[in-house]
Structure 1
Amino acid sequence: MTVTRRNVVLGALAAPALLALPRGAAHAAAPVDLKISHQFPGGTLTEGDFRDRLCRVFAAEVEKRTNGALKGTVFPGSSLMKTNAQFSALRKGALDMSLYPLSYAGGEVPEVNIGLMPGVVTNYEQGTAWKSAPVGKVLADLLMDKGIKIVSWIWQAGGVAGRSTPLVEPADAKGMKVRGGSREMDMVLKAAGAAVISLPSNEIYAAMQTGALDAAMTSSTSLISFRLEEVAKTLTTGRGKAYWFMLEPLLISRSIFEGLPKDMQDVIMTVGAEMEKFGTEAAKVDDQDVARIYAKAGAQVSDLSADTVKRWQDIARETAWKDYAARSDSCAKILKLAEQAL
């Protein structure tokens, strides 16, 4: 059977629950309902953007394993609160959970820009290894100090949708208006001669439609879910290798998490860990599907060579990496650990 982004199956659903509360352990109080917010299009447990599906499967599994004592309600499309407000709300305990592009919070916590540092992660294996590597431990501890706990580590490769002209090599960027997705990616684009535009991924379509953007870098999943093939004539994929990798973890407010009973905390973290395999597999499927979808729409599709990735990485090393490391001792430490994981 051909695997598509619509039929990636979460193995955890078919397997016995690894951790569940016994029947008699349901809490006497009314069920706890966690509000889970994200900016991506809504769907169902089995259809739509995998990030929305991941949140829904997480909520369903948590409810199942706590016998209804702990539930989750998913609010897609920034319907609960605006995209950029979610990180601060998590820190304050005003939002329970969010699947959030970590680099969006770089203005508030500069260290998290490592989550979309061009060229630091170039394949899924490197990203997956962060969770147990020193860089991941330092990043997780930093977020805990800021009031947020990582529940699931989710990485996504990204590509470039072009309104008319392909953006493959750094030289292609000269004179183009490009959305990079992070402060650091913007620095690399500027060094390559582009004018940068900053906006969330759910605003790319309108900007490209009006000509405010010539090209946009975003995850393969967003390239599909936001239907950018309708306004793009070119695509540079992230399949196989990429210099654009984004950390989009499932997060929970530390104050909310620590206010829950230990048994509920354990269920959250166990189910969260199971979601990581689902997320990686679904992201890889989307890396392939995006090329098929854009080609079908008539777009010119290009892949990246190892040499091209290195050229982007070299620019990043001399611009974004240096700038990030100079921002604070904490940033310098995180970058050094990230380089060790390359």
Structure 2
Amino acid sequence: MLTSVFRKTVTAATIAAALGVGGICVASAADITLKASHQWPGGKGDVRDEMVQILAREVEKADVGLKIQVYPGRSLFKPKEQWGAMVKGQLDISAFPLDYASGRHPEFSSTLMPGLVRNHDRAQRLNNSDFMKSIKKTINDAGVVVLADAWLAGAFASKKQCITSPESIKGQVTRAAGPAFEQMLVGAGASIASMPSSEIYTGLQTGVLDAANTSSGSFVSYRIYEQVTCLTKPGANALWFMYEPILMSKRSWDKLNDAQRDALMAASKVAQDYFVGEAKGLDDKLVKAFADAGVEIAEMSADDYAAWLEIAKKTSYANFAEKVPGGQALIDAALAVQ
């Protein structure tokens, strides 16, 4: 009899402790730590790193049994491996240039299509457009969730000569961020060496590259100003824009409870709002960093921009429309955003 009573008492006490009954706060075994990976330097002012750090801080403040451990600088996964790792549930979160996954989902090349965005205000309008609804459906169907949107303007830099008109890039070995840009640059007479933005510095230093294009943020974070003689800033005619959102594995998302999901989405909004406030300023920081390093600053004219677009339409746009199912409709949907 005593043994039976003792067992009932222990069972009741155990259940009460597990549920936090009686004001006892017990650390829950259900607390989750998410791994967030990206390729940019950590703690050095890169806005993409800061977006992820904000996400981590805001989630921890919410106190819902959720933490985010950030792994910057390719320390957890190589840049292009992050997409597959999220799909498989091996990686929880990434600040990820979506075009890096265009080999698996060719539709994603439209998020780094020459001349499709042009300026920061239009980039914000694209976020809620039919164009991006289609892109986000593909992302979701692949097993990944968009937490926060981010569009970065980009530039060109060369250690040979300023890149303005299409003729100015002829004969230069150039790094471009994705196939759509590569096709346009080849159409203008450039040679291509493909690599992540984190390898541009070494490519220029070793003579593998003569020139490169990438985002304003990456140009500064990777100190490319130490290896080039001329920068073509985004200016009023930004040919280069890239979608680099914060993404999450759907498998990881599905493991969270409602409170954790709400906290994560609230944190994502804070991170996205921060980025919107910083995006335009990145271009100014880019120009200052390069000018301070003694690099010549150039800008594409409206005529230069129009000439590049003519080449893009005959190369990148035409190839995308021909080879990607629904490709022309995606281009039309993006161009329809005013």
- Whether TM-score is above 0.5 comes out as yes
CA contact (8 A) 1:134 1:337 kept: yes
- Equivalent residue for 2:112? 116
- Equivalent residue for 1:304? 300
1:62 has 2:81 as partner: no
CA contact (8 A) 2:118 2:238 kept: yes
- Equivalent residue for 2:45? 48
3-state DSSP of counterpart to 2:153: strand
Task: Identify if the C-alpha distance between structure 1 residues 292 and 315 changes in structure 2 by more than 3 Å, giving closer, same or farther.
Answer: same
Aligned-residue sequence identity (percent) comes to: 35
Structure 1's unaligned 5+ residue stretches are 1-23
Higher mean displacement: 113-122 or 297-306: 297-306
3-state DSSP of counterpart to 2:68: strand
- Equivalent residue for 2:7? none
Give distance in 1, aligned partners of 2:246 and 2:270. Answer: 12
Give distance in 1, aligned partners of 2:27 and 2:265. Answer: 19
CA contact (8 A) 2:51 2:272 kept: no
Higher mean displacement: 242-251 or 316-325: 316-325
Letter in 2 for 1:249: P
Task: Identify if the C-alpha distance between structure 1 residues 172 and 144 changes in structure 2 by more than 3 Å, giving closer, same or farther.
Answer: same
- Equivalent residue for 2:226? 230
How does 1:143-158 map onto structure 2 within 5 Å? Answer: 143-158=139-154
Deviations 1:157-209 (A, max 9, x none): 00012113111111101111111111000000001000011000000001101
- Equivalent residue for 1:137? 133
CA contact (8 A) 1:156 1:280 kept: no
CA contact (8 A) 1:99 1:249 kept: yes
Instruction: Report the alpha carbon displacement of residue 27 of structure 1 after superposing the two structures with TM.
Output: 8.5
3-state DSSP of counterpart to 1:319: helix
Q: How many residues align?
A: 316
RMSD: 1.9
Give distance in 1, aligned partners of 2:142 and 2:55. Answer: 24
Deviations 1:279-303 (A, max 9, x none): 1322221201111111111111012
- Equivalent residue for 2:12? none
CA contact (8 A) 2:64 2:259 kept: no
Structure 2's unaligned 5+ residue stretches are 1-23
Q: Which protein has the larger Cα radius of gyration, Structure 1 or Structure 2?
A: 2
CA contact (8 A) 1:239 1:284 kept: no
Task: Identify if the C-alpha distance between structure 1 residues 275 and 25 changes in structure 2 by more than 3 Å, giving closer, same or farther.
Answer: farther
Q: Which of 199, 206, 209 is the equivalent residue of 2:205? A: 209
* Alignment TM-score, normalising by the size of structure 2: 0.89
How does 1:173-188 map onto structure 2 within 5 Å? Answer: 173-188=169-184
Instruction: Report the alpha carbon displacement of residue 25 of structure 1 after superposing the two structures with TM.
Output: 11
Task: Identify if the C-alpha distance between structure 1 residues 192 and 27 changes in structure 2 by more than 3 Å, giving closer, same or farther.
Answer: farther
Deviations 1:1-46 (A, max 9, x none): xxxxxxxxxxxxxxxxxxxxxxx99993342111010000111xxx
Give distance in 1, aligned partners of 2:273 and 2:304. Answer: 29
Task: Identify if the C-alpha distance between structure 1 residues 25 and 161 changes in structure 2 by more than 3 Å, giving closer, same or farther.
Answer: farther
How does 1:238-253 map onto structure 2 within 5 Å? Answer: 238-253=234-249
Deviations 1:121-162 (A, max 9, x none): 101112111221111111111110001111111000000121
CA contact (8 A) 1:158 1:218 kept: yes
Letter in 2 for 1:273: K
Give distance in 1, aligned partners of 2:337 and 2:29. Answer: 45
- Equivalent residue for 1:101? 97
Instruction: Report the alpha carbon displacement of residue 263 of structure 1 after superposing the two structures with TM.
Output: 1.9
3-state DSSP of counterpart to 1:329: coil
Q: Which of 255, 262, 272 is the equivalent residue of 1:266? A: 262
